[in-house]
Amino acid sequence: MSRLLGALVGLLLGVQARADENLEMFATRNLTAWCIVPFDAAKRGPEERAKMLERLGIKRLAYDWRAEHVASFDLEVETMQRHGIEIVAWWMSGKRVEDNQKILAVIERHKIHPQLWLAMQDPLPASSDQAAKVKAAADSLRPLAEQAMRLGCKLALYNHGGWLGEPENQVAIINQLAMDNVGIVYNFHHGQGHIGRFPELMPLMKPHLLALNLNGMTLNSSEPGEPIRDIGSGDRELAMLKEVLHSGWSGPIGILDHRPQEDSEAVLRRNILGLEGLVRSLRENLSGSRP
């Protein structure tokens, strides 16, 4: 009996130690800045953006863009490299095929390997045939996934509402593709409707989850759409982060601006402080639950 109890205590201590290690993914030096290009009220260029990230202690950037930024793709990469900031992800749209090819050319030219975060629409919006939808989505994604694989990149399906925004559908598409370099980037701010079942969704996504972007989350929000809130200002993100830790997943964590009327530096700073508060709560919770 004592041997069994000792083994159980050892197992629990191991779980706690791994959870403590996983908290490091929330450290500022490991965070990815997201939605800070078209949503920055200060309208920074590459150099000013890199200096802002340096001031904040952020070393990773997920690059989003609009048509006016295409001409400066190469400059963005060169500037971030000069400042020691890694472009860990690059946003793509299923609607902008020509621009997507320009992104791939920049990636190949500079020999970088960011994740490709792809937002796309339901391939068969008029159909209710789930199998047909999954196959159509997989067929449309395969050429891009193959190009990404050739460049040493991973393709991440980006939840942006609708049929493609549901994790169950994304997992079905990934299984249909059966390619090792295809996964999911999950955005809290587009998952407001998932709060109640996040404990079920996290284990489902875990084998495929390539990145996780955080947001303040509030159940039964009265605001329309997917409200953007500072991390720590909601009443559900702490519980959701507990589920992330419980799952054992450890990967890239993003914080975002996505507020076109505000300076990205101010918003990112508030999110860093809010996340630090949540991490303190998580750490206290782990300490209090040790055997």
Say how far apart CA 254 and CA 274 lie, in whole Å.
13
93, 119 Cβ separation under 8 angstroms: yes
Digit-coded pLDDT (tens) for 75-133? 999 999 999 999 999 999 888 889 999 999 999 999 999 999 999 889 999 999 999 99
pTM metric for this prediction: 0.90
149, 181 Cβ separation under 8 angstroms: yes
Q: What are phi and psi of 63, to 5 degrees?
A: -95, 115
**Secondary structure letter of residue 37 according to DSSP:** S
Digit-coded pLDDT (tens) for 193-224? 999 999 999 999 999 999 999 999 998 665 55
With pLDDT > 70 as the criterion, what percentage of the chain qualifies? 89
pLDDT given at position 96? 85
Digit-coded pLDDT (tens) for 118-153? 998 899 999 999 999 999 999 999 999 999 999 999
Who's near 97: CB < 8 A, 6+ residues apart? none
Q: Which of 228, 225, 194, 193 is nearest to 214 (CA)?
A: 228
Give 27-288's CATH code, choosing from 3.40.190.10, 3.30.420.40, 3.50.50.60, 3.20.20.150. 3.20.20.150
Tokens of 97: 């095929």
Domain boundaries, the chain: 27-288
Rounded to 5 degrees, what angle do the CA atoms 205, 36, 265 make?
115
Amino acid at 109: R
pLDDT at 290 over 50: no
